[in-house]
Amino acid sequence: MQQTLIAKGRRLYLSLLPFIVYKLNKLNYNMEQKFNFRTFQFTTPSGHQVVIREQNGEDDDILSNPVEAQTMMNLSRFISGIIVECDYTENTKLTPQQAHELPALDRYCILFNSRKFSLGDTVDFIYDWGEDNGGKQEYTQELDEFLFDYSKLPTEEEAAAKPNAIPFYPMGGQFKDITFETSTGKKLKFDLFNARAEAYLLELPMDQRTKNKELVARNLMLEVDGKWDKVTNFRMFSVSEMKEIRAEVTGNDPVFYGTTTIENPRVPGQVTEVNIVALKDFFYPGEM
């Protein structure tokens, strides 16, 4: 009798299991909708469409991971986590490794839009000028000064009004194998600067972080007898060729410094540059 009841109870449980799972999934979905799914859509400097969610408490653990911060993977994992939809991939999602390979300007654009969307339009911070120069002073930085509407090219007036803004990519959505030819006939190609390239430079000893290493980080390659060879030695290039190469690279892969100029109110004329993303208040407001 008891075994019969147990068997009936088991059959009843199994028949109800799909309904239970459905209810639990719906509950989890509703919770995510309530707490995580306020979203924001924008265009990146390469012309891609991205939809991000609002940051949540779990993101703090990702951003503050000291081990992954050494290779920039903490930011890549964060970017992968906040993107709910994009057109970088066919499945509209990004893995952390795919986020790691995004071009630097797109990554900065995502970070600045996420900061603005989740935590407000301004970054408040304190800068210490030193005891002899007035000590600590408070500043407020508008994040809009670093962002354009990347769905359209800015007018000359708009560009002039935002000299520190993240620039556009002239080549649009092409991230790798950007080819060009020098006036002497040498064919080369390179990839846009990304987190992998930045981590490569950061891992180098200070005495090796030279101008040419910035080209190595971009995977500069030279065509030799129909094959592409990675460039690690620059003796084969003349000074004029190096000038052409750098002009081609910087022209297609603009650099964003993420800095703003502040002035000491206590000492007229004293100014300095501050990296906004490096400020603790960029990700953790109030924890200065």
Residue-wise pLDDT tens digits, 162-216: 999 999 999 888 999 999 999 999 999 999 999 999 999 999 999 999 999 999 9
Residue 285 — pLDDT band, cuts 50, 70, 90? confident
User: 68 is in which domain, residue-wise?
Assistant: 39-119
pLDDT above 90: residue 88: yes
Is 7 part of a structural domain of the chain? no
Is 146 part of a structural domain of the chain? no
Q: Could you count the other beta carbons within 10 Å of the beta carbon of residue 228?
A: 15
Is 216 part of a structural domain of the chain? yes
Residue 3 — pLDDT band, cuts 50, 70, 90? low
Mean residue pLDDT across the chain = 89
Is 145 part of a structural domain of the chain? no
Q: Which residue, 119, 139, 163, sits at the end of a domain?
A: 119
Is 268 part of a structural domain of the chain? no
Is 258 part of a structural domain of the chain? no
Local structure of 269: helix, strand or coil:
coil
pTM of the model: 0.84
Instruction: Quote the crossing angle between the two packed helices 104-119 and 195-203, to the nearest 10°.
Output: 100
- As for how many domains the chain has, the answer is 2
Is 245 part of a structural domain of the chain? yes
Query: Distance (Å, rounded) from C-alpha 14 to C-alpha 150?
Result: 53
CA 145 distance to own-chain centroid: 17
Q: Could you count the other beta carbons within 10 Å of the beta carbon of residue 42?
A: 20
Residue ranges in 64-103 assigned as alpha helix (H): 66-69, 73-82, 96-100
Q: Report CA-CA distances (Å) from 219 to 215, 227, 249.
A: 7, 15, 11
Q: Which pLDDT value is given to residue 171? A: 82
Q: Decide: 151 and 45 in contact? Cβ < 8 Å.
A: no
pLDDT above 60: residue 33: no
Residue of 23 and 222 predicted with greater confidence: 222
Is 104 part of a structural domain of the chain? yes
Q: Which pLDDT value is given to residue 2? A: 47
Residue 125 has phi, psi (to 5 degrees) of: -150, 165
